[in-house]
Amino acid sequence: MSEGGSSPTNSADASSSSATINITDGDSTISQDSQFDRWNKKLRLVTGLGLRSEEERQEWLQRRCLGWKDEIMETSPMIRYLLQHLSVLPVPDQDSSGSQQIPIPIDCDICIPLLSAGLFSPTDPDPSRPSGGQIKLCANSLPSKSRMEDVLSHELIHAYDHRRFKMDWKNLFHVACTEVRANALSGDCNWTREVDRHVFTFAKQRQACARRRAILSVAQHISEPLEPDNPLRTKATDTAEKIVDQVWSSCWNDTRPFDEIY
Protein backbone atom coordinates (compact mmCIF):
# COMPACT_ATOMS: atom_id res chain seq x y z
CA MET A 1 0.00 0.00 0.00
CA SER A 2 2.76 2.40 0.85
CA GLU A 3 4.43 1.81 -2.56
CA GLY A 4 1.09 2.10 -4.37
CA GLY A 5 0.31 5.33 -2.44
CA SER A 6 3.64 6.84 -3.24
CA SER A 7 3.40 6.33 -6.99
CA PRO A 8 0.74 8.96 -7.73
CA THR A 9 2.58 11.46 -5.54
CA ASN A 10 5.87 10.84 -7.33
CA SER A 11 4.11 11.02 -10.69
CA ALA A 12 2.50 14.33 -9.81
CA ASP A 13 5.81 15.67 -8.54
CA ALA A 14 7.52 14.57 -11.73
CA SER A 15 4.79 16.14 -13.82
CA SER A 16 5.03 19.36 -11.84
CA SER A 17 8.80 19.33 -12.14
CA SER A 18 8.57 18.73 -15.89
CA ALA A 19 6.09 21.57 -16.30
CA THR A 20 8.34 23.88 -14.35
CA ILE A 21 11.30 22.98 -16.50
CA ASN A 22 9.33 23.58 -19.69
CA ILE A 23 8.10 26.96 -18.50
CA THR A 24 11.58 27.94 -17.36
CA ASP A 25 13.03 26.78 -20.65
CA GLY A 26 10.37 28.75 -22.49
CA ASP A 27 11.11 31.90 -20.51
CA SER A 28 14.80 31.36 -21.09
CA THR A 29 14.22 31.01 -24.83
CA ILE A 30 12.09 34.17 -24.91
CA SER A 31 14.70 36.02 -22.86
CA GLN A 32 17.51 34.82 -25.10
CA ASP A 33 15.54 35.80 -28.22
CA SER A 34 14.84 39.22 -26.73
CA GLN A 35 18.50 39.73 -25.83
CA PHE A 36 19.57 38.61 -29.29
CA ASP A 37 17.11 41.02 -30.95
CA ARG A 38 18.41 43.88 -28.82
CA TRP A 39 22.02 42.95 -29.58
CA ASN A 40 21.21 42.54 -33.28
CA LYS A 41 19.50 45.95 -33.44
CA LYS A 42 22.41 47.58 -31.61
CA LEU A 43 24.83 46.01 -34.10
CA ARG A 44 22.74 47.30 -37.01
CA LEU A 45 22.68 50.79 -35.55
CA VAL A 46 26.44 50.76 -34.93
CA THR A 47 27.41 49.43 -38.36
CA GLY A 48 24.53 50.72 -40.47
CA LEU A 49 24.27 47.27 -42.07
CA GLY A 50 20.99 45.41 -42.44
CA LEU A 51 18.76 48.26 -41.26
CA ARG A 52 15.20 46.97 -41.36
CA SER A 53 13.14 50.15 -41.63
CA GLU A 54 13.30 53.85 -42.42
CA GLU A 55 12.91 54.53 -38.71
CA GLU A 56 16.00 52.43 -37.94
CA ARG A 57 17.91 54.16 -40.73
CA GLN A 58 17.05 57.60 -39.35
CA GLU A 59 18.05 56.53 -35.84
CA TRP A 60 21.38 55.26 -37.19
CA LEU A 61 21.98 58.52 -39.10
CA GLN A 62 21.33 60.58 -35.98
CA ARG A 63 23.64 58.41 -33.87
CA ARG A 64 26.38 58.71 -36.46
CA CYS A 65 25.86 62.47 -36.67
CA LEU A 66 26.11 62.90 -32.89
CA GLY A 67 29.24 60.74 -32.76
CA TRP A 68 30.94 62.70 -35.53
CA LYS A 69 29.92 65.99 -33.93
CA ASP A 70 31.49 65.02 -30.59
CA GLU A 71 34.70 63.89 -32.32
CA ILE A 72 34.99 67.05 -34.42
CA MET A 73 34.42 69.35 -31.47
CA GLU A 74 37.27 67.60 -29.66
CA THR A 75 39.76 67.24 -32.51
CA SER A 76 39.14 69.87 -35.21
CA PRO A 77 41.37 72.96 -34.82
CA MET A 78 38.93 74.98 -36.97
CA ILE A 79 35.88 74.10 -34.87
CA ARG A 80 37.66 74.56 -31.56
CA TYR A 81 38.97 77.96 -32.71
CA LEU A 82 35.51 79.14 -33.74
CA LEU A 83 33.89 77.87 -30.54
CA GLN A 84 36.56 79.62 -28.47
CA HIS A 85 35.95 82.95 -30.20
CA LEU A 86 32.18 82.51 -30.07
CA SER A 87 32.27 81.82 -26.33
CA VAL A 88 33.69 85.27 -25.50
CA LEU A 89 31.11 87.20 -27.53
CA PRO A 90 28.04 88.53 -25.73
CA VAL A 91 24.69 87.02 -26.58
CA PRO A 92 22.40 89.78 -27.90
CA ASP A 93 20.75 91.62 -24.98
CA GLN A 94 22.94 89.76 -22.49
CA ASP A 95 26.40 90.07 -20.95
CA SER A 96 29.36 88.04 -22.17
CA SER A 97 28.54 84.38 -22.68
CA GLY A 98 32.07 83.20 -21.98
CA SER A 99 31.98 79.79 -20.36
CA GLN A 100 33.65 76.41 -20.47
CA GLN A 101 30.52 74.86 -21.95
CA ILE A 102 29.62 74.77 -25.63
CA PRO A 103 28.58 78.37 -26.32
CA ILE A 104 25.72 77.45 -28.67
CA PRO A 105 23.25 74.53 -28.92
CA ILE A 106 24.27 72.16 -31.74
CA ASP A 107 21.81 69.38 -32.56
CA CYS A 108 21.56 66.56 -35.09
CA ASP A 109 18.22 65.98 -36.77
CA ILE A 110 16.56 64.51 -39.84
CA CYS A 111 15.78 67.44 -42.13
CA ILE A 112 12.57 67.21 -44.16
CA PRO A 113 12.38 68.79 -46.67
CA LEU A 114 16.10 68.53 -47.23
CA LEU A 115 17.30 71.96 -48.36
CA SER A 116 20.73 72.14 -46.72
CA ALA A 117 23.26 70.10 -44.77
CA GLY A 118 23.14 72.51 -41.84
CA LEU A 119 21.08 75.41 -40.55
CA PHE A 120 21.72 78.34 -38.23
CA SER A 121 18.69 79.86 -36.55
CA PRO A 122 18.96 83.14 -34.63
CA THR A 123 16.30 81.94 -32.19
CA ASP A 124 17.16 79.89 -29.10
CA PRO A 125 15.42 76.60 -28.24
CA ASP A 126 14.75 77.98 -24.76
CA PRO A 127 12.34 80.94 -25.18
CA SER A 128 13.14 82.19 -21.68
CA ARG A 129 16.75 83.02 -22.63
CA PRO A 130 18.12 85.84 -24.80
CA SER A 131 18.99 84.25 -28.09
CA GLY A 132 22.52 83.52 -29.14
CA GLY A 133 21.14 81.26 -31.86
CA GLN A 134 21.24 77.52 -32.45
CA ILE A 135 22.68 75.18 -35.07
CA LYS A 136 21.04 72.11 -36.57
CA LEU A 137 23.06 69.54 -38.51
CA CYS A 138 21.07 67.52 -41.04
CA ALA A 139 22.03 63.91 -40.32
CA ASN A 140 20.52 62.71 -43.61
CA SER A 141 22.73 65.03 -45.68
CA LEU A 142 26.18 64.47 -44.17
CA PRO A 143 28.00 61.64 -45.94
CA SER A 144 31.32 62.09 -44.14
CA LYS A 145 32.95 63.59 -41.07
CA SER A 146 35.00 65.99 -43.20
CA ARG A 147 31.81 67.26 -44.84
CA MET A 148 30.30 67.82 -41.39
CA GLU A 149 33.37 69.81 -40.34
CA ASP A 150 32.88 72.20 -43.28
CA VAL A 151 29.15 72.53 -42.63
CA LEU A 152 29.59 73.14 -38.91
CA SER A 153 32.31 75.72 -39.62
CA HIS A 154 29.95 77.49 -42.00
CA GLU A 155 27.15 77.65 -39.42
CA LEU A 156 29.49 78.73 -36.62
CA ILE A 157 30.59 81.70 -38.74
CA HIS A 158 26.92 82.66 -39.04
CA ALA A 159 26.66 82.37 -35.25
CA TYR A 160 29.78 84.51 -34.82
CA ASP A 161 28.37 87.20 -37.12
CA HIS A 162 25.02 87.06 -35.32
CA ARG A 163 26.68 87.90 -32.01
CA ARG A 164 29.57 90.05 -33.17
CA PHE A 165 27.64 92.34 -35.50
CA LYS A 166 24.11 92.14 -34.00
CA MET A 167 22.69 91.11 -37.35
CA ASP A 168 19.23 91.87 -38.65
CA TRP A 169 18.25 88.67 -40.44
CA LYS A 170 15.48 90.47 -42.32
CA ASN A 171 18.07 92.74 -43.90
CA LEU A 172 19.19 91.01 -47.10
CA PHE A 173 22.46 92.95 -47.16
CA HIS A 174 23.32 91.49 -43.75
CA VAL A 175 22.37 88.02 -44.98
CA ALA A 176 24.48 88.44 -48.12
CA CYS A 177 27.51 89.52 -46.11
CA THR A 178 27.43 86.61 -43.67
CA GLU A 179 26.91 84.16 -46.56
CA VAL A 180 29.95 85.53 -48.40
CA ARG A 181 32.03 85.21 -45.23
CA ALA A 182 30.76 81.76 -44.28
CA ASN A 183 31.41 80.32 -47.73
CA ALA A 184 34.84 81.94 -47.99
CA LEU A 185 36.11 81.02 -44.52
CA SER A 186 34.55 77.65 -43.72
CA GLY A 187 36.06 75.30 -46.28
CA ASP A 188 32.79 75.09 -48.22
CA CYS A 189 34.58 76.59 -51.22
CA ASN A 190 37.77 74.55 -51.12
CA TRP A 191 38.75 73.24 -54.53
CA THR A 192 38.10 69.61 -53.58
CA ARG A 193 34.60 70.51 -52.36
CA GLU A 194 33.89 72.21 -55.68
CA VAL A 195 35.10 69.13 -57.56
CA ASP A 196 32.58 67.10 -55.56
CA ARG A 197 29.92 69.46 -56.92
CA HIS A 198 31.29 68.93 -60.47
CA VAL A 199 32.38 72.57 -60.66
CA PHE A 200 35.84 72.89 -62.20
CA THR A 201 37.24 76.42 -61.91
CA PHE A 202 40.87 77.39 -61.43
CA ALA A 203 41.10 81.18 -61.76
CA LYS A 204 39.72 82.80 -58.59
CA GLN A 205 37.90 79.56 -57.81
CA ARG A 206 37.18 80.38 -54.16
CA GLN A 207 35.79 83.83 -55.02
CA ALA A 208 33.53 82.41 -57.73
CA CYS A 209 32.24 79.73 -55.37
CA ALA A 210 31.57 82.12 -52.47
CA ARG A 211 29.74 84.55 -54.73
CA ARG A 212 27.65 81.85 -56.43
CA ARG A 213 26.61 80.22 -53.16
CA ALA A 214 25.88 83.55 -51.46
CA ILE A 215 23.59 84.53 -54.35
CA LEU A 216 21.79 81.19 -54.08
CA SER A 217 21.23 81.63 -50.35
CA VAL A 218 20.01 85.23 -50.61
CA ALA A 219 17.63 84.21 -53.42
CA GLN A 220 16.16 81.56 -51.10
CA HIS A 221 15.56 84.28 -48.50
CA ILE A 222 13.71 86.32 -51.11
CA SER A 223 11.40 83.51 -52.22
CA GLU A 224 10.68 79.85 -51.56
CA PRO A 225 12.57 77.34 -53.75
CA LEU A 226 11.01 77.34 -57.21
CA GLU A 227 11.45 75.51 -60.50
CA PRO A 228 14.46 76.72 -62.56
CA ASP A 229 12.25 78.14 -65.33
CA ASN A 230 9.91 79.97 -62.95
CA PRO A 231 10.05 83.75 -63.64
CA LEU A 232 9.86 84.50 -59.90
CA ARG A 233 13.01 82.45 -59.33
CA THR A 234 14.85 84.34 -62.07
CA LYS A 235 13.77 87.65 -60.55
CA ALA A 236 14.88 86.56 -57.05
CA THR A 237 18.26 85.46 -58.40
CA ASP A 238 18.78 88.75 -60.23
CA THR A 239 17.95 90.72 -57.08
CA ALA A 240 20.22 88.52 -54.96
CA GLU A 241 23.09 89.00 -57.40
CA LYS A 242 22.83 92.80 -57.13
CA ILE A 243 22.75 92.63 -53.32
CA VAL A 244 25.78 90.33 -53.11
CA ASP A 245 27.75 92.54 -55.51
CA GLN A 246 27.09 95.59 -53.33
CA VAL A 247 28.53 93.98 -50.18
CA TRP A 248 31.15 91.81 -51.88
CA SER A 249 34.32 93.82 -51.43
CA SER A 250 33.97 94.62 -47.73
CA CYS A 251 32.61 91.20 -46.74
CA TRP A 252 35.09 89.13 -48.76
CA ASN A 253 37.99 90.99 -47.17
CA ASP A 254 36.61 90.68 -43.63
CA THR A 255 38.17 87.45 -42.35
CA ARG A 256 37.35 87.80 -38.64
CA PRO A 257 37.91 85.88 -36.41
CA PHE A 258 40.75 84.57 -38.64
CA ASP A 259 43.77 86.61 -39.66
CA GLU A 260 43.34 85.56 -43.27
CA ILE A 261 41.61 83.05 -45.54
CA TYR A 262 43.40 79.69 -45.42
Spatial contact of 213 and 179, defined as CB atoms under 8 Å apart? yes
Residue 11 corresponds to which amino acid?
S
159: nearest Cα among 139, 138, 185, 140: 185
DSSP string of 158-197, one letter each residue? HHHHHHHTT--TT-HHHHHHHHHHHHHHSSTT-HHHHHHT
CA distance 87 to 63: 26
C-alpha dist (Å) from residue 152 to 17, 39, 82, 83, 183: 64, 32, 10, 11, 12
Tell me 139's DSSP state.
G
Active site residues: 155
